[in-house]
Structure 1
Amino acid sequence: MILILLSSCSPRRNLVYFSDLTGKSGESQVITNDIEPRIQTNDLLSITINTLSSESNVLFAVNSNNMNKNGYSEKEGFRVNKLGNVNLPVAGNINLQGLTIEEAQQTVVKSLNNYVKDPIVNIQFLNFRITVIGEVNHPATFTMTNEKMNLLEALGMAGDMTAYGKRENVLLIREIEGKRTIIHMNLNKGDILNSPYFYLKQNDIVYVEPDKGKAIDISPNNRLMPLLIATISAVAVLATTFLNR
């Protein structure tokens, strides 16, 4: 029985985030890895343009809400094509690829200055989605209204990791301009806070790997363990009773 129990035990694991942090409480660090997301091809952008002319405002008002075929309200946007351009009324194609939101707003304003006076431009991502799957309590895809999202916030939205989630091996899958990058991150280590991958970008996928203990727990063979132990106990009791007669 002891051998059976030992064979089903999984290694002891560290379930504490940043367990190696030994600094004093209140100690501050300069944030150097807060990199703004940049516009990529195939991004969907909301571009709102306001001017002093009501006629021009009507012309640029293309982001109004509409009902899709499923009956849900959705917001139109401007798709960034393979060349990195968006096609705006009057101004035509404007290249926004590789720009931050603030840089893109300045670029659009500069292009529109040739046609309207003092335009006010507001740009937002409509496809800033983060997917969290694996050993979390509520795996899902989350559409964000705020382009600043870090790994801990994403895990919090997914209900945090389960006890089976390997905090020492969280996988980040990121696609940028046709290239896929796969990063392994150890959340037991405090230096992850300074990682360039701590802040997430649009369409990132976070995968939490399960511990080997879960495979043991859900194994069909393991479900028979209580029955096997009970059978062995019963045989031992019967054998002891028989020998004592």
Structure 2
Amino acid sequence: MKKIYFFAFLLFATLLLTGCGSTKNVAYFQNSDSINFDNSRFLYDARIMPKDQITVSVNTTTPEVSLPFNLLLQNAYTQGRSVSYSGGTLMPYLVDNDGYINMPIIGRIKVGGLTKSEAEKLVTEKVRPYMAETENPVVTVTMASYSVSVLGEVARPGSFQVSREKITILEALAQAGDLTIYGVRDRVKLIREDATGKKSMVTLNLNDANIVNSPYYYLQQNDVVYVEPNKVKAQNSTVGQTTTLWFSATSILISLTSLLYNILK
């Protein structure tokens, strides 16, 4: 009877300790009642960086007028002995280290550091002198290589393409399946490279609701987010195969000792 009470006490103590886990280091936005959202009233615009891939589309009411300004992958087809070409897929430009692209007719223009709308305005100004005054060209610039990477203690680490040219750190973590229970939420690392190639690293606290006012709330293309493991995960990772076998052998030895004691007593 005493053994039953003893095991019942151990079970109760285990459940009590398990149920008393604190959410202090787990919950996001713990001070959300005191945050000032007035500081977060701005719309983020990504800026074109060196080594980005962008597409530039020029359209006019008369397609033949804008065709020479579009970089197209020509589709060739054979008709008898002659080879003809038709307009194909719009090819992306690779922005060089100085921020330039080389467009047909226009030549080299600097788009590095510009937003999508600023680049569209620049290209429009460059193509207009080649057209009639009645033409009103419509230029569309799209980023074809906007991606961010999420590593560490998340459910699905990897690189993720951003189709909207805008993503927050929370959206990036959501695409990675959110942090695991072992992820340290108040020391998330963000690694960023600027237009000159200079790297920087900042630490973000997801427990603090003021992160929405942080200049790093919106991620730039090629940003890397790293979630480090907490002490529990780090300690568990040091338990190798040898340690596991040692515990198994100890458990078997204790069981055999207990069995022999019960037989011989």
Q: Which category describes the TM-score, using the shorter chain as reference length?
A: 0.7 to 0.9
1:190 aligned residue: 209
Alignment of 1:53 with 2:74, yes or no, is no
Question: Could you tell which deviates more after superposition, 109-118 or 230-239?
Answer: 230-239
- Aligned to 2:107, which of 92, 95, 99? 92
Distance in 2, Cα, partners of 1:239 & 1:194 = 67
Question: Could you tell which deviates more after superposition, 202-211 or 53-62?
Answer: 53-62
Deviation at 1:217, TM superposition (A): 2.3
What is the one-letter code of the residue matched to 2:258? Answer: V
Which secondary structure state, in structure 2, belongs to the residue aligned with residue 14 of structure 1? Answer: coil
State the TM-score, normalizing by the size of structure 1. 0.80
Alignment of 1:62 with 2:63, yes or no, is no
Structure 1 unmatched runs, 5+: 1-10, 67-73
Distance in 2, Cα, partners of 1:152 & 1:36 = 17
What is the one-letter code of the residue matched to 2:116? Answer: I
Alignment of 1:40 with 2:49, yes or no, is yes
2:178 aligned residue: 160
- What do the CA deviations read for 1:207-234 (whole angstroms, capped 9, x no partner)? 1111121132232165347526635743
Cα distance change on mapping 1:49 and 1:75 into 2, 3 Å? closer
Deviation at 1:176, TM superposition (A): 0.8
1:21 aligned residue: 32
Distance in 2, Cα, partners of 1:114 & 1:150 = 40
Cα distance change on mapping 1:88 and 1:197 into 2, 3 Å? same
Say which structure is richer in helix: 2
Deviation at 1:237, TM superposition (A): 3.3
- What do the CA deviations read for 1:152-178 (whole angstroms, capped 9, x no partner)? 000001111111111111111111121
Instruction: Point out the structure with max Rg over C-alpha.
Output: 2
Distance in 1, Cα, partners of 2:38 & 2:257 = 63
Which secondary structure state, in structure 2, belongs to the residue aligned with residue 148 of structure 1? Answer: coil
- Aligned to 2:94, which of 67, 79, 94? 79
- Count of aligned residue pairs for this structure pair: 227
Which secondary structure state, in structure 1, belongs to the residue aligned with residue 121 of structure 2? Answer: helix
- Aligned to 2:146, which of 120, 125, 128? 128
| Contact 1:34 1:199 (C-alpha < 8 Å) held by counterparts | no
Distance in 1, Cα, partners of 2:243 & 2:206 = 30
| Contact 1:65 1:76 (C-alpha < 8 Å) held by counterparts | no
State the TM-score, normalizing by the size of structure 2. 0.75
Cα distance change on mapping 1:165 and 1:58 into 2, 3 Å? same
Cα distance change on mapping 1:94 and 1:110 into 2, 3 Å? same
Cα distance change on mapping 1:28 and 1:42 into 2, 3 Å? closer
Question: Could you tell which deviates more after superposition, 33-42 or 162-171?
Answer: 33-42
2:235 aligned residue: 216
- Aligned to 1:201, which of 191, 198, 220? 220
Deviation at 1:88, TM superposition (A): 1.1
Cα distance change on mapping 1:225 and 1:189 into 2, 3 Å? farther
